[in-house]
């Protein structure tokens, strides 16, 4: 099993105004002359984390991270206006140009894989390689599995807590019921819903539940952006023209070297999603981690991602 690379600090940090309303935080670490890689965080609304830098060899990579609209250090916090998949795709491209990067590797897990596919299918000419993990294509059956019925059978105790803010007569459509509360003018209603939504995901993200992860996801500031932005994107079906859009457009990226890493026991983004991407995109390397759930910090997933980065740094 591969261990994380040593912790490093950014050598360049800044804020980039991407619209009259939104400003995004970004940072660079590693080798300024290295191969560029941009890391797309999950959520939407999850924000970037310092640990992401440790998945790439700082001697060989120029590591770019940023907080997507409305989360992390980007402003305004938890803002839903002007916040769609296609706004984020353009933000990635704006950042690439701003940093004078010709082409880069794009890495993303969970929602980050959705965004990586969306960006690469829009701008394939600027993508040198893709590293994808915990595949999420934002289709109805995927949302139903996690937010309506499916994962609930494996985590009934955590599911009970997720149900609490929603009256029984609204539970036939949990995402809509949560959306009403997450957009409420009543701060107490909004906060209760945000914490329950976020803790549900944290409780199911690892093969062995992690109390520290659950605690972090339950903090009010994090939960507000995370829950509101996720629910906003899910209510709007990812802002895709078709729920199969990312699979239908695979021909646009078939030539891009790609690695797909998937935990077999992923409850958040179950393996059937990655399998369907694998079937549509046979050219991509497909790595199944037999003893992992959803989180990139689980040993097998961590090791596979680091190995993928090492291989691609030599291309």
- The residues that are catalytic are 110, 266, 294
Whether cis (ω within 30° of 0) applies to the bond prior to 76 is: yes
Calculate the dihedral angle through the C-alpha atoms of 58, 214, 277, 173, rounding to the nearest 10 degrees.
-150
Q: Classify residue 178 by burial, with Cβ atoms within 10 Å: 0-12, 13-18, 19+.
A: buried
Q: Which two tokens stand for residue 11?
A: 């050598």
Listing DSSP states for 216-285 in one string gives HHTSHHHHHHHHHHHHHHHHTGGG-SSTTHHHHTGGGTTTS-EEEEEETT-SSS-HHHHHHHHHH-TTSE
Q: Which two tokens stand for residue 73?
A: 């250090």
Strands 104-109 and 61-66, sheet pairing: unpaired
- Sheet architecture: strand order including 104-109: 12-17, 23-30, 61-66, 35-40, 104-109, 127-133, 258-263, 285-289
Q: At what angle do helices 85-98 and 111-122 cross, to 10 degrees?
A: 70
């Amino acid at each position: 099993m591969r261990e994380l690379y040593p912790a490093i600090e950014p050598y360049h940090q800044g804020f980039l105004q991407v619209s009259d309303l939104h400003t995004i935080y970004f940072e660079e670490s590693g080798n300024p002359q290295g191969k560029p890689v941009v890391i797309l965080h999950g959520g939407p609304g999850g924000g970037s984390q310092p640990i992401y830098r440790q998945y790439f060899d700082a001697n060989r990579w120029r590591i770019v991270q940023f907080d997507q609209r409305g989360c992390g250090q980007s402003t305004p916090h938890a803002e839903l206006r002007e916040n769609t998949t296609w706004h984020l795709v353009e933000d990635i491209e704006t950042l690439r140009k701003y940093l004078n990067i010709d082409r880069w590797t794009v890495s993303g897990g969970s929602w980050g894989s959705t965004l990586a596919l969306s960006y690469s299918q829009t701008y394939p000419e600027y993508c040198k390689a893709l590293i994808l993990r915990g595949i999420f294509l934002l289709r109805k059956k995927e949302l139903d599995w996690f937010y309506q019925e499916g994962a609930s059978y494996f985590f009934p105790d955590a599911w009970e807590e997720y149900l609490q803010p929603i009256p029984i007569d609204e539970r036939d459509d949990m995402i809509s019921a949560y959306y009403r509360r997450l957009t409420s003018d009543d701060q107490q209603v909004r906060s209760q819903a945000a914490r329950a939504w976020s803790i549900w995901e944290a409780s199911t993200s690892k093969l062995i539940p992690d109390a520290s992860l659950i605690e972090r996801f339950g903090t009010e500031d994090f939960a507000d952006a995370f829950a509101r932005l996720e629910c906003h994107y899910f209510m709007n079906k990812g802002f895709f023209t078709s729920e199969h859009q990312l699979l239908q457009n695979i021909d646009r990226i078939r030539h891009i070297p790609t690695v797909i890493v998937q935990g077999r026991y992923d409850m958040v983004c179950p393996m059937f999603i990655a399998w369907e991407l694998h079937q549509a995109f046979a050219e991509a390397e497909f790595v199944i981690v037999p003893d992992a759930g959803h989180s990139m910090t689980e040993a097998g997933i961590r090791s596979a991602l680091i190995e993928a980065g090492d291989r691609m740094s030599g291309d």
